[in-house]
Structures are given as C-alpha cells and as structure tokens.
Structure 1
Amino acid sequence: MPRYLSMIRIDENNAPAEGPSEALMGRMGELIEEMTKAGVLLDTAGLTPTSDGVRVHWEGGKTSVTDGPFTESKEVIGGYALLQAKDKAEAVEWTKRFLQVHEPFWTVTCEVREVVEG
C-alpha cells in the first residue's frame, strides 16, 4: 500500500500565541487513535518554531547555514503525518478530517504527496 506525507503548513505569524486549545488536542487525540487503529497513521508530530530551526543550503558547490526564524516564509511546515492509504483519495480524506478538528480561527493547509518507494 502506498505511503503519503501530509505536510502541515501554518502561518507562524497568525497562529494563536497560546497554541492549540485543550479541546483541539482532545479531538486530535481521538482522530489519531482512530487513524492508528485503522492502520492508516504510521507517524505524526508537530515541529518547533522556525526560530529554533536552521536551513542548510547547497549552491555552486558550497554549503551555507542560516539560523531561523525565516521571516521571508509566509507558510512554514508546522508538523507532519505519515499515512499509509489505498490511494491518494483516501489520504486526502483523512487529511480533511485532520483539518476539520481545528477551530474556525485556525488557518492550516496540508500538502499531501506520495512517498516514492525504492
């Protein structure tokens, strides 16, 4: 069965300062449990803010390292979910359910892409 990476994109500048509510975390926990029992969810996690990140760039035969935050980025990857689904449509349906557990004031985008095997 194919695997899909759902990259959770957020705008760090407009995310709630207090982070996810307890109610959101409860709904998220229930969905994660359901997805795990269904054998769809292989791994998931949130990521630290870009202020804690580092970018390593390769160009012209040289590497450069830039410390965060990365203010030029409107959206950043705030987390991910690795899914195993029968097809892309199923992966997208699970991703839609993930987005729908958020309160209306959140702005979250997920990019779903198939993992290349072998």
Structure 2
Amino acid sequence: MPRFMGFVRMEENIGTPPKSLFEAMDAYIGERAAKGIFLDGGGLYGTEDAVNFVVRDGQSTRVDGPYAEGKEVVGGWSIMEYPSLAEAVADQEEFAELHAKHWPEVTVISTLRQISTGPEEPEA
C-alpha cells in the first residue's frame, strides 16, 4: 500500500491550539491507528532550537534558528498508509476540516505527499 507524509504548516508563535482540537485529533489519530492507517507522527517544537545545514556552491553551512525570514513553519507531521491516493486525499481533507472547526482563527496549511520507494512514478 502507498505511504504518505502529512505536514501541518502554520505561523510560528500563534499560541497553543484549543483543547477541543487536541481532543478531536486524539480521536482522529486513534481511529486511524486502530485501522493501521496512522503509522507515526507528532507535533514539533518551534524553530528557536532548529538547525539547518544550507548547501550552496559546494559548501555546507550551519544556520541555527530562530529564522526571522520564515513566515510558516512545519508544526506537525505524520506517516500514513492508505489503499489508494483517493482515500489518502479524502482523509487529509477531513484532517484539515478538524482544524477549521476547532481553531478557525488561524491559517493552517495541511499538506499530503506520497512517499517515494524508488525511481517509479507516484500513484495517479
């Protein structure tokens, strides 16, 4: 079955999500974990302790956070496995709707990407 990675991007330092979102996410993740869909995931701390290595012109340079130029940061991630791309997309939409319902005052970008297992093309 194809595997997918989900990302949640948002502005940094926008506060703690409401308790109702945490509760809805616990139920959402619990249901998918029980079905074998949700394989792993979690939230991420802010960029204040982040470390990037930038490769440019054949040189690697370490850049420590926080990053003033960043408007959005990845706040959470997940690894999921679905029988089809259509099911993955539908479920990602449901995930986004949880954020719209429980935290409507913030802008959240929920991204789904298929995980490559080699040189083949992604599922259509």
Determine helix, strand or coil for the equivalent of 1:83.
strand
**What are the residue-to-residue correspondences of 1:20-99 with 2, within 5 Å?**
20-99=17-96
Measure, in 1, the Cα distance between the counterparts of 2:106 and 2:94: 14
1:81 positional shift: 1.1
Number of matched residues? 115
RMSD across aligned C-alpha pairs, in angstroms? 1.3
What do the CA deviations read for 1:26-66 (whole angstroms, capped 9, x no partner)?
11100011111121101111111011211111122211011
Unaligned stretches of 5+ residues in structure 2? 119-124
Measure, in 2, the Cα distance between the counterparts of 1:89 and 1:81: 18
Measure, in 1, the Cα distance between the counterparts of 2:64 and 2:104: 32
| TM-score normalised over the length of structure 1 | 0.89
Q: Which residue of 1 aligns with 2:109?
A: 109
Measure, in 1, the Cα distance between the counterparts of 2:89 and 2:66: 30
Q: Letter of the aligned partner of 1:43 in structure 2?
A: D
Structure 1 segments of 4+ aligned residues over 6 angstroms from their partners: none
Unaligned stretches of 5+ residues in structure 1? none
Determine helix, strand or coil for the equivalent of 1:55.
strand
